[in-house]
A = this chain, B = another copy of it.
Amino acid sequence: MENKLSKREAIINAAIKVFSTKGYHSTRMEEIAILAEVGKGTIYEYFASKLDLFQKMLEESVKVYFTEVASLDDENLPFAEKLLLLLAGHIDFCKEHKELTRIVFWDTEIIDEELKEWSNQMRKEKEDYMTEIIKTAINKGDIKPVNPRILTYIISGVLGSLWAPITLDNWEVNTEDLAQEITDIVIRGIGL
Contacts and interface: CB of A to CB of B under 8 A. Distances in A.
Contact of A153 (B21, B141, B161, B190): B161
Contacts of A77: none
Instruction: List the 4 shortest-distance A-B pairs measured between CB atoms, nearest first.
Output: A157-B157, A189-B189, A23-B110, A157-B161
Given A157-B159, A188-B189, 20 more contacts: A24-B25, A26-B110, A79-B190, A80-B191, A106-B108, A108-B109, A109-B109, A120-B164, A142-B192, A143-B191, A143-B192, A146-B185, A151-B185, A154-B154, A154-B185, A157-B160, A157-B161, A185-B186, A187-B189, A188-B191
Contacts of A182: 150, 153-154
A162 interface: yes
Nearest to A164: B123
Given A23-B110, A157-B157, A150 B191 contact: no
A107 interface: yes
A178 B150 contact: yes
A165 interface: yes
B190 A144 contact: yes
Contact of A161 (B22, B156, B165): B156
